[in-house]
């Protein structure tokens, strides 16, 4: 199978994609590239079994309703700032990891979300239906949260000033996947100088976890909200080392580990939304 990871930015030059081929108990990065436009992404998604996109799949329901009501001439509703800024999945991520995603309604992450919405409409025209809750070919991912759950560095590796930390993170990730993930020299060089590329690689790993059922789906009480707001696939804390296992072996080996997935597996739960985080 092929899993695809996409670090989606508002512009192609900051957008990266990574494809991983999974064969038995081995995995290999078969393609990784930056500077990806919509046409290239549509083609890559068409060739993948599961694609993880690092971008919000929707907006907070309270925000959408408030803007629509006010735009139509109605009064601004009595909604809390948290409800207007954050989706249900954002609150779940904060509770599990202590890290708030950026607000798609009030932070610049909303601009890549515009591009994602346009991309989803284009995909629908090709016959690829997008389930915003992650049940289809596409799933929303958050590499920083996954890295934190996997016990790896999740901050400080972005942009030029984070280059030394980026190299250390890449080394740590390769060490944790040594023995089953093959990353050739050109791919290592690209990930060592581009955090976009590394995030795309992590996104492809999360897509594999989602395929194997190692990411908790939206609980029933949040299913309707997830269908319109999107839902971030959070991998289980111990899932990284099991990604290359066959499905049957995986279920046997992890049956007793499924309980170690909630708050408490990661310390530092946040109670107040931040100004920025993603």
pLDDT value of residue 247: 56
Q: Which residue has the tokens 């995995």?
A: 27
Does 81 map to a domain? no
The answer to the question of residue 90 being in a domain is: no
The helix/strand/coil state of 63 is helix
- Cα distance between residue 140 and residue 56, in whole Å: 7
Residue 275 lies in a domain: no
pLDDT at 253: 41
The domain total for the chain is: 1
201 lies in a domain? yes
- DSSP letter assigned to residue 201: H
- Is residue 278 included in any domain, yes or no? no
Query: What pLDDT is recorded for position 163?
Result: 79
pLDDT of residue 278: 55
Question: Which segments of the chain have a pLDDT < 50?
Answer: 248-271, 276-277
The confidence score (pLDDT) of residue 274 equals 64
Range of the domain at 44: 2-57+102-251
Q: How far is CA 182 from CA 20, 112, 270, in A?
A: 9, 30, 36
Task: Give, as one character, the DSSP assignment of residue 220.
Answer: G
Judge whether 264 lies within some domain. Answer: no
The answer to whether position 32 is within a domain reads yes
- pLDDT per residue over 45-90, tens digit each? 999 999 999 999 999 999 999 999 999 999 999 999 999 999 999 9
Q: Is 128 helix (H, G, I), strand (E, B) or coil?
A: coil
Give the CA diameter of the chain. 61
- Asked if residue 61 lies in contact with residue 148, where contact means CB atoms within 8 angstroms, the answer is no
Model confidence, pTM: 0.89
CB–CB of 22/208 below 8 Å?
Answer: yes
Q: How far is CA 145 from CA 55, 97, 152, in A?
A: 13, 7, 10
Res 123: pLDDT: 96
pLDDT of res. 82: 96
Q: 160: domain CATH number? A: 3.30.420
Q: How far apart are CA 268 and CA 56, in angstroms?
A: 23
Domain-embedded: residue 158? yes
Instruction: Give the model's pLDDT for residue 161.
Output: 72
């Amino acid at each position: 199978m092929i899993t695809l990871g996409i670090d989606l930015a508002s512009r192609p030059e900051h957008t990266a994609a990574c494809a991983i081929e999974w064969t038995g108990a081995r995995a290999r990065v078969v393609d990784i590239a930056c500077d990806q436009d919509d046409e290239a992404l549509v083609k890559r998604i068409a060739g993948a079994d599961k694609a993880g996109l690092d971008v919000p799949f929707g907006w907070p329901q309270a925000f959408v309703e408030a803007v629509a009501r006010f735009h139509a001439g109605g009064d601004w509703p009595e909604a809390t700032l948290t409800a207007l800024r954050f989706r249900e999945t954002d609150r779940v991520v904060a509770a599990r990891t202590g890290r708030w995603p950026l607000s798609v309604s009030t932070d610049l992450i909303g601009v890549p979300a515009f591009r994602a919405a346009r991309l989803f409409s284009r995909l629908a025209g090709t016959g690829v239906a997008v389930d915003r809750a992650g049940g289809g070919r596409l799933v929303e991912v958050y590499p920083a949260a996954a890295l934190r759950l996997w016990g790896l560095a999740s901050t400080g590796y972005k942009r030029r000033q984070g280059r030394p930390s980026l190299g250390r993170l890449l080394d740590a990730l390769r060490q944790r996947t040594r023995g089953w993930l093959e990353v050739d020299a050109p791919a290592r060089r690209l990930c060592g100088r581009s955090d976009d590329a590394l995030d795309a690689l992590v996104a492809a790993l999360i897509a594999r976890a989602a395929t194997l059922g190692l990411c908790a789906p939206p609980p029933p009480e949040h299913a309707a909200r997830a269908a319109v707001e999107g839902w971030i696939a959070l991998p289980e804390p111990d899932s990284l080392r099991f990604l290359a296992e066959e499905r049957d072996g995986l279920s046997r080996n992890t049956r007793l580990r499924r309980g170690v997935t909630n708050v408490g597996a990661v310390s530092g739960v946040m109670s107040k939304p931040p100004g920025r985080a993603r």
